[in-house]
């Protein structure tokens, strides 16, 4: 054999090796995940997984959680994910209350501090035969996948997901990109909306590569990337603008946009007349206009435009806070630009779109009707009217989630849904 033929043969072998190294793992992964998809949230649920903190902030959250449980256990089985039974608020007495249905509650102690299960809980996938799998996307505590501080979080979260899967006897499908539950939403017909926060969490991958992987993982056909989220949802505890500060995820979708059926999407909106009412309103006005433009130019799989319904922001809720000498080191340790004597305005991450849909029931945020001696703008009623028109067969329970909003989330952020088996 001539040297030229030998070199050609070796080159072909090398190319084949590179091909199999690069392509075969992807083929195997596609075969493993093919047929599984993330169902729309308005489809039937077998159960809900609810983060139920039972220590520290739990006492503060408890009134909201209680109202949620009373409403939910009428329609769906609820798995209460608690840190420990030792810290539960007197389990027997709590569950024996006449307004709860204890037969629809299971307490799941995890020895983990996960509370916002939309982002930390198991993401359930389903196939055409009704079989269930759990998608195990790494959770980084809202940091980049490559942040050194994310490493421990990823390891602990994987143990948590594995324990849930073992409890249910469900196989786990691994994922190598960060995909928080609040960062995507599907229309139940092959389209997924994606948050720009996903790009921040996976900075070494291109948007094209991230989109390709997410479509494969979630069993979707088309992605729509939106811009920035609401101002009230900054990354961590950070400055929004000027003296306004807030706590959040950096821009999750369930604070400003939600599919409600395969053709209709709700978008939080600031009218022209209100855009100068505060620096927060001005930011939201600009961001939501950009998102409206993106949605207006988008189509479903059949090429049809979406019906975009604009819904109000809740009234801006804030409190004034002065940095004390006692807590100045706390902020300095976290590299926050705050010193003793600084006066800041803390903004609640309030949103009407952080609602819950399950088994002919909606838990809808309400902000005005429970406030005595305050003038109302009619926004609660406006949102209620919209939801009644969209979900005429659902019962709607309005709950004030402000205690959650101060910590950067809402009712939807607490829950992950487990699809119902097919009949």
What whole-number percentage of the chain has pLDDT above 70?
A: 87
Q: What is the mean pLDDT of the chain?
A: 89
pLDDT of the residue at 145: 95
The answer to whether residue 36 sits within a structural domain is: yes
**29 has pLDDT over 50:** no
Q: How far apart are CA 125 and CA 122, in angstroms?
A: 9
Of residues 259 and 112, the one with the higher pLDDT is 259
331-381: pLDDT as tens digits: 888 889 899 999 999 999 999 999 999 999 999 999 987 565 455 689 999
Which of 35-44, 104-113, 147-156, 240-249 is predicted least confidently? 104-113
The answer to whether residue 103 sits within a structural domain is: yes
Of residues 423 and 278, the one with the higher pLDDT is 278
pLDDT of the residue at 94: 72
66-123: pLDDT as tens digits: 899 999 999 999 999 988 777 665 666 777 778 888 889 998 988 888 889 999 999 9
pLDDT of the residue at 5: 52
What CATH number is attached to the domain comprising 157? 3.75.10.10
Band of pLDDT at residue 126, cut at 50, 70 and 90: very high
**283 has pLDDT over 80:** yes
pLDDT of the residue at 57: 59
The answer to whether residue 14 sits within a structural domain is: no
pLDDT of the residue at 54: 63
- State mean pLDDT over 284-297: 98
pLDDT of the residue at 188: 97
Of residues 214 and 66, the one with the higher pLDDT is 214
How many domains is the chain partitioned into structurally? 1
55-76: pLDDT as tens digits: 665 667 888 998 999 999 999 9
The answer to whether residue 282 sits within a structural domain is: yes
The answer to whether residue 1 sits within a structural domain is: no
The answer to whether residue 5 sits within a structural domain is: no
Band of pLDDT at residue 328, cut at 50, 70 and 90: confident
The answer to whether residue 22 sits within a structural domain is: no
Output Rg (C-alpha) for the chain, integer angstroms.
23
pLDDT of the residue at 161: 95
Report the alpha-carbon angle 242-365-120, nearest 5: 80
pLDDT of the residue at 114: 85
pLDDT of the residue at 24: 42
Domain that holds residue 297: 28-419
The answer to whether residue 157 sits within a structural domain is: yes
What whole-number percentage of the chain has pLDDT above 90?
A: 74
């Amino acid at each position: 054999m001539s040297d030229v033929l030998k070199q050609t043969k070796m080159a072909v072998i090398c190319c084949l090796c590179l091909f199999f190294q690069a392509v075969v793992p992807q083929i195997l992964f596609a075969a493993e995940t093919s047929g599984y998809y993330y169902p729309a949230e308005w489809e039937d649920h077998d159960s809900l997984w609810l983060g139920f903190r039972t220590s520290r902030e739990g006492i503060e959250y408890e009134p909201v959680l209680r109202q949620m449980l009373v409403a939910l256990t009428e329609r769906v089985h609820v798995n209460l994910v608690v840190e420990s039974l030792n810290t539960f608020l007197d389990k027997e007495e709590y569950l024996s209350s006449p307004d709860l249905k204890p037969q629809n509650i299971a307490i799941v102690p995890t020895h983990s501090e996960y509370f916002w299960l939309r982002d930390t809980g198991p993401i359930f996938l389903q196939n055409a035969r009704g079989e269930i799998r759990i998608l195990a996307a790494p959770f980084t505590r809202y940091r980049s996948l490559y942040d050194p501080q994310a490493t421990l979080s990823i390891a602990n979260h994987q143990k948590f997901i594995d324990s849930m899967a073992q409890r249910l006897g469900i196989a786990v499908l691994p994922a190598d990109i960060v995909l928080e539950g609040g960062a995507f939403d599907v229309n139940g017909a092959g389209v997924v909306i994606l948050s720009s926060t996903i790009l921040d969490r996976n900075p070494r991958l291109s948007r094209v590569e991230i989109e390709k992987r997410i479509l494969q993982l979630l069993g979707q056909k088309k992605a729509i990337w939106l811009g920035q989220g609401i101002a009230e949802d900054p990354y961590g505890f950070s400055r929004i603008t000027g003296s306004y500060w807030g706590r959040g995820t950096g821009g999750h979708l369930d604070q400003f946009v939600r599919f409600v059926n395969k053709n209709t999407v709700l978008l939080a909106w600031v009218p022209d007349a209100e855009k100068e009412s505060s620096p927060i309103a001005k930011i939201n006005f600009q961001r939501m206009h950009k998102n409206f433009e993106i949605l207006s130019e988008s189509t479903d799989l059949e090429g049809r435009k979406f019906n975009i319904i604009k819904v109000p922001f809740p009234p801006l809720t804030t409190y004034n806070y002065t940095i004390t000498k006692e807590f100045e080191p706390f902020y300095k340790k976290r590299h926050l630009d705050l010193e003793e004597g600084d006066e800041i305005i803390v903004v609640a991450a309030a949103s009407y779109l952080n609602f819950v849909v399950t088994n002919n029931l909606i838990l809808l945020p309400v902000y005005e009707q429970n406030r005595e001696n305050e003038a109302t703008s009619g926004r609660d009623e406006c949102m209620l009217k919209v939801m009644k028109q969209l979900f005429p067969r659902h019962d709607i329970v309005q709950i004030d989630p402000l205690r959650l909003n101060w910590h950067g989330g809402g009712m939807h952020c607490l829950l992950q849904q487990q699809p119902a088996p097919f009949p």
